[in-house]
Structure 1
Amino acid sequence: MIAYIKGKFVVKTPAIAIMEANGIGYEMQISLNTYSAIKDADNGLLYTYLHITENGQTFFGFADMAEKEMFLLLISVSGIGSSTARMMLSGLKPREISEAITQANTALLSTVKGIGKKTAERLILELRDKMGKKVLETVGATGSPKTVSIEDDAIQALMALGIARPIAENVVKKHILSNPELSLEEIIKQSLKNL
């Protein structure tokens, strides 16, 4: 499978990017989030996913791995197709979707076109545990640029472990204020000890 394509952007629209690499043009379906990330670039890299169905093959491009991973999680849910997943990623950032699912925020998920209350509830039911595990797996990991602070990541990790948000916020802030040099992993470990 092709993990990513690096090359020149020949066409960029809010829904499609065509990228030339080694003389071959790759047409990829993209979200508005990806479009925002690449709209001013002449060259770049898109992580890819080839979606194969009985009706055809569709290539999807993502500006970062977080978006690709969220896309894969979304399409793993019964009733969520690739078009709906792309629509969700156009309306919300991966972090917002993750937070909405872990916090059971059906209202936010339902703001996306094509996602009703029942579908939002199914997303939460099927992905809540996976989201929690994903947060724990990425604790302390480096990779794509983070748009949130260590404090937010620590709070999300504690919430994924079943700790209420106000309690998680208080304990994390306390540790960050007492020792701003702590790593994300250390903040989480010390917070868990003090609960």
Structure 2
Amino acid sequence: MESLYRLAGFEVYEYLSGEVVRITAQYAVLEVAGVGHRLRAPSGTIEKLREGAQARVFISHRIRDEQLVLFGFSQPEERDFFEQICQVSGVGPASAIALLSQVDQDVLRSAVLEGRTEELEKVKGIGRKTAQRIVLDLRGALEKEDLAARVGSPATVGVPEGAPADAVRALQVLGFHIIDAQDRVRKAIAANPDQISAEDLVRLASRGR
């Protein structure tokens, strides 16, 4: 995973491992190599942590007011779902954390797939229009992920493994929706039939954003 972030042009953490030195209702502090990292996290992750215990927390990075904010999750799948929610127009990290804190992840996924916006509207700050937008923006991606779970990695659905799949994953790191990333990579390959590297595919596919 680290190489994918390098491919996207910046360095981030996939996860942090260290001692939990503080826990609050909204965040935890994880000490790693003498440095305390404040990690905002959903309630499910907070509840699994214990002060003084060792923990591995999967990380999502967000820029807010020109500052890097770290969000922590007990499982990479929950972190990935958080990042998908954050890609929905008008839905920020705070709303995404609230959704994952107040609605079970499996219930939330089912609600999106089945168009049950009332489940999302139970969360403070999520109105009907926002709930409808979340369903509209995420349903296709989640349906494709369900299919991919049966036939292979989401990044490889519709694109060859190797450089094309790596390029799709790198575009996701840059903030592209997986379906958009796949479409852009396929078009870049079609326009450049000679074998090219993942770096070149990322450069070509990210044009015109």
TM-score range, shorter chain: 0.5 to 0.7
Give, as a single letter, the amino acid of the residue that structure 2 aligns with 1:96. V
Answer whether contact 2:27 2:40 (CA < 8 A) is retained.
Answer: yes
| Of 52, 55, 65, the match for 1:44 | 55
Q: Secondary structure at the match of 1:28?
A: strand
Q: Deviations along 1:142-187, whole A, 9 cap, x unmatched?
A: xxxxxxxxxxxxxxxxxxxxxxxxxxxxxxxxxxxxxxxxxxxxxx
Q: Which residue of 2 aligns with 1:35?
A: 46
Distance 2:31 2:124 in 1: 32
Does 2:126 correspond to 1:115? yes
Answer whether contact 1:66 1:94 (CA < 8 A) is retained.
Answer: no
Q: Which residue of 1 aligns with 2:198?
A: none
Distance 2:92 2:54 in 1: 29
Give, as a single letter, the amino acid of the residue that structure 1 aligns with 2:131. A
Q: Which residue of 2 aligns with 1:12?
A: 23
Q: Secondary structure at the match of 1:59?
A: strand
Q: 1:14 to 1:140 in 2, by over 3 A?
A: farther
Q: Aligned pairs, how many? A: 142
Distance 2:30 2:24 in 1: 12
Q: Deviations along 1:79-132, whole A, 9 cap, x unmatched?
A: 000111011111012211111100101111100111111111111111100011
RMSD over aligned Cα atoms: 1.9
Q: Which residue of 1 aligns with 2:82?
A: 71
Distance 1:22 1:59 in 2: 17
Q: Which residue of 2 aligns with 1:58?
A: 69
Report how far residue 139 of structure 1 moved: 3.6
Unaligned runs of 5+ in 1: 142-195
Distance 1:31 1:77 in 2: 18
Q: Which residue of 2 aligns with 1:101?
A: 112
Answer whether contact 2:21 2:52 (CA < 8 A) is retained.
Answer: no
